[in-house]
Amino acid sequence: MNVQDRPAAGGTPPPPGRRRTALISAAVVGVVLVLLVVVLATRKPASTDPHNSALVGQPAPVLEGRYVQGNRVEMGDGSHFVVVNFFAAWCTTCVQEHPQLKAFEAEHARTGDATLVSVVAGDTKANARDFFHANGGGWPVVYDADGRTAVAYGMIKVPETYVVDPAGTVIYKFSAGVTKDALDSLIAQAKRQGA
Amino acid sequence: MSGARRWAGWVVIAVVVVGLLAFGSYQRGPQSDAARAQALDETIRCPQCSGESVAASDAPIARSIRNTVSRMVAQGQSDEQIRDYLSSPNLYGQEVLLDPVNKGFGALVWGVPVAALVITAAAVTLKFGDWQRRGNRHTTAADRSLVEEARRGAGADPS
């Protein structure tokens, strides 16, 4: 009970004016609270699905940096899918997914429908070279020296893999490790939809 | 205490508060690029960490974002342009900003406390004024007769 609603000395009830003020105040506060709850409940949650990055559906950012190995990869020339894999030599998930990427690359180098490119994120050029030397794989590797490519992709943590369609549009983002099967089925699905 | 002296106290408090707020929020001259980048880094959340700014974190992505901020500052981009770039939905979204933006829905965070303060202050001032006016009212003949009646009742009661 509000102080001003307390019965006056002698037990007489508060005058009707005060009651009306209290009612109106309570109604205004109530309406504001309800509006706030409605607005907050209908907003997009802060933690969005990482696999559905907002970059999906957008043109893939340019891969900037020097190539540690392989030839420059062009995206959006209409001829092939591009799989962009962010990695670091110190990242254990990257080591684990590497055989999957190798198998994927070997198969699609034959069919020519998809190219794999790795981006060194948060590691040195020398470590990246040693990594490929130790684990194999001869596909193009870009050294993102100051991290601008990682930031342009909204990358958070290695490994992350983005699939870019032949038109140069990002169609999917894998956070954490990726498998050959997952990449293959995604590309097959995109081909069916595009056909 | 006289009315004038009482008001003088309030005026002194108001002047000191406004002065301190102005001093605290004053932008001291043109900042160097490094200082500007550092100040911006402190307002950007490291996406990989929990509640840490990119200035405080040593995560690889925090380093990449610091590099990006420094590069954009060197290119002459404004603080707003840099924050807009990093918080665009394609990159890290609004969640990357440690201090909420003062436009759109985010403005509520700044606006609501100020509005609440102003409304409360106004209500308290009005109410105090009201009470003060009531306190100055003179006793009426009806009041006196009520008191008299109560006294007689008390006198008649032997307990």
CA distance B68 to chain A (A): 6
User: Minimum mean pLDDT among A121-125, B3-7, B26-30: which range?
Assistant: B26-30
- Which of A13-17, A101-105, B69-73, B83-87 comes out lowest in average pLDDT? A13-17
pLDDT above 70 as % of chain A: 87
Q: How many residue contacts between A and B have a Cβ separation below 8 Å?
A: 59
Residue A193 has pLDDT above 70, yes or no: yes
DSSP state of B104: G
Distances (CA, A) of B153 to A10, A16, A54: 15, 30, 82
Q: What is the DSSP string of chain A?
A: --GGGSPBTTTBPPPHHHHHHHHHHHHHHHHHHHHHHHHHHHSPPSS--GGG-TTTTSBPPP--SEEEESPPPP-SSSS-EEEEEEE-TT-HHHHHHHHHHHHHHHHHHHH-SEEEEEEE-SS-HHHHHHHHHHH---S-EEE-TTSHHHHHTT--SS-EEEEE-TTSBEEEEEES---HHHHHHHHHHHHHHH-
Tell me the average pLDDT across A6-29.
73
Q: What is the pLDDT of residue A7?
A: 46
pLDDT at A137 over 80: yes
Residue of B46, B91, B96 to mutate, testing the A interface (most A Cβ within 10 Å of its Cβ) = B91
Residues A133-158: b if buried by 16+ CB within 10 A, e if exposed: eeeebebbbbbbebbbbbbbbbbbbb
Q: Give the other-Cβ count within 10 Å of B94's Cβ.
A: 16
Pairwise CB contact (< 8 Å): A46 & B71: no
A122 touches B at CB < 8 Å = yes
What's the mean pLDDT in A18-33? Answer: 90
Per-residue pLDDT, B86: 94
Of the pLDDT bands very low, low, confident and very high (cuts 50, 70, 90), residue B120 is very high
Give CA separation, B59 vs A82, B47, B49, B102, in Å: 27, 9, 8, 28
ipTM of predicted complex:
0.73
A41-83 pLDDT, tens digit per residue, is 887 655 545 445 778 999 999 999 999 999 999 998 888 999 9
Torsion (CA) B38, B40, B44, B48 in degrees, nearest 10: -40
- Residue range A137-144: mean pLDDT, rounded: 95
Is B14's pLDDT higher than 60?
Answer: yes
Q: How many residues does chain A have?
A: 195
The span from the CA of A180 to the CA of A115, in Å, is: 13
Q: How far is A180 from chain B (nearest CA, A)?
A: 26
Model confidence band, residue B29 (pLDDT cutoffs 50, 70, 90): low
Q: Do A146 and B86 touch (CB under 8 A)?
A: no
Task: Give the residue, A95 or B134, on which the prediction is more confident.
Answer: A95
A119 vs B103, which has greater pLDDT?
A119
Q: Do B105 and A122 touch (CB under 8 A)?
A: no
pLDDT at A141: 96
Look at residue A4 in the predicted model and tell me its pLDDT.
Answer: 46
Residue with tokens 């105090």: B128
Mean per-residue pLDDT of chain A: 87
Distance CA B57, CA B72 (A): 20
Confidence at residue B155, expressed as pLDDT on a 0 to 100 scale = 72
